[in-house]
Amino acid sequence: MAHKGGVVVIILTMNQREKTLQCLSSLMADASAGYQILLWDNGSADGTCEAVRNAYPAVLAHHHPTNLGVASGRNAAARLAAETFYPSYFLFLDNDMLVEPGFVDTLQRPFDEVPQVGQTQAKLRFMHDRERLNDGGGARINFMTWRVKPVGFGEVDRGQYDTVRRCTACGGAMMVRAELFMRLNGFDTRFDPFGPEDLDFSLRLQRAGYSALYIPQAVAYHAVSHTYGRNYDEEYARTKLRHWLLFMRRHASLPQKLGFFLGAPFLGAQVMLREGKKGNFRALVGFARGLLELLGHPGP
């Protein structure tokens, strides 16, 4: 029988059976763990769910017949987790991560200490080079140059980012109050099939009066892979630009928006030159389509 409260770890996967099993193995290695785990399979054809059920019967493994995308997949998983386990917290964890012992408890602790904490994020190191940081404190967003870069990305971890602080949390290893997640309607599905739904959610959470904290004592190792099948083709380029303009319109200040549009011709020229050298003219068509679509749908 499901117990109320506690944490549900939500893992999204698509056609990454072995990485998913490794991730679950690291979670299960924590003997003190008292959390539930829900695996949402976004249309895999490699037998992921069957393998997980055989190896880890305690994990709720749900196979969806199609790929819903990241935002819709996580939202659907959160609804299923809420209906099944009645949790107090959701921990969204990418399936290409390994976690250190005590990871879940360490991310949960700040919620008990400060009522206005709505979200926590872990420190991430690279799987292939465990001395270097993948994320040392959330995202740095530059709206004017269309760039998002994790704090400390690629730096040797010498403890320079070992202080708890406010951040714009990325979604790969972040915990959130379940009630708050539902009240904010979860991730915005207009960012399907990929990003930046996580940054948008963190900024909306902070706008609602809650804080997002980086917790460096919670450490995970990230293989930095993608399950949405990224190809820099026309569709990817269209979606990337459309999502960025939606994200910027929602969260950037007026000076930041002006700076972006003033610099847009130079950024566009860089993209055209780079993709043109590759002969990737379909990507240029995709960028144009993304701009026209967003201008035709000026929603919030």
Q: Using a pLDDT cut of 70, give the percent of the chain over it.
A: 82
What pLDDT does 228 receive?
Answer: 40
Torsion of CA 183, 139, 170, 257, to 10 degrees: 50
Whether the Cβ atoms of residue 35 and residue 159 lie closer than 8 Å to each other: no
Whether the Cβ atoms of residue 260 and residue 211 lie closer than 8 Å to each other: no
**Structure tokens that stand for 127 in this block:** 């799987």
Residues 6+ away with beta carbon under 8 Å from 141: 147, 148, 168, 199, 251
Q: Which residue has the tokens 């010498």?
A: 158
What pLDDT does 50 receive?
Answer: 96
Q: Is the peptide bond before 255 cis (omega within 30 degrees of 0)?
A: no
Residues 6+ away with beta carbon under 8 Å from 185: none
* Cα distance between residue 146 and residue 204, in whole Å: 19
CA distances from 116 to 34, 111, 197, 209, 273 (A): 24, 8, 22, 8, 47
What pLDDT does 229 receive?
Answer: 39
* Cα distance between residue 115 and residue 97, in whole Å: 29
What pLDDT does 170 receive?
Answer: 93
Q: pLDDT tens-digit profile of 90-126?
A: 999 999 999 999 999 999 999 999 999 999 999 999 9
What pLDDT does 275 receive?
Answer: 62
Angle ∠(198,200,202) on CA atoms, nearest 5: 70
Residue type, 246: L
Rounded to 10 deg, the angle between the 281-296 and 254-277 helix axes is 150
Looking at the DSSP bridge assignments, the partners of residue 213 are: 120, 166
State CA 152 to chain mean position distance. 17
What pLDDT does 267 receive?
Answer: 65
Whether the Cβ atoms of residue 223 and residue 271 lie closer than 8 Å to each other: no
Whether the Cβ atoms of residue 130 and residue 224 lie closer than 8 Å to each other: no
What pLDDT does 146 receive?
Answer: 81
What pLDDT does 215 receive?
Answer: 98
Whether the Cβ atoms of residue 212 and residue 166 lie closer than 8 Å to each other: yes
Whether the Cβ atoms of residue 118 and residue 182 lie closer than 8 Å to each other: no
**Structure tokens that stand for 224 in this block:** 């930095």
Task: Point out the residues of the chain with pLDDT beneath 50.
Answer: 1-2, 227-231, 298-299
* Cα distance between residue 138 and residue 124, in whole Å: 10
What pLDDT does 113 receive?
Answer: 92
Rounded to 10 deg, the angle between the 254-277 and 234-251 helix axes is 170
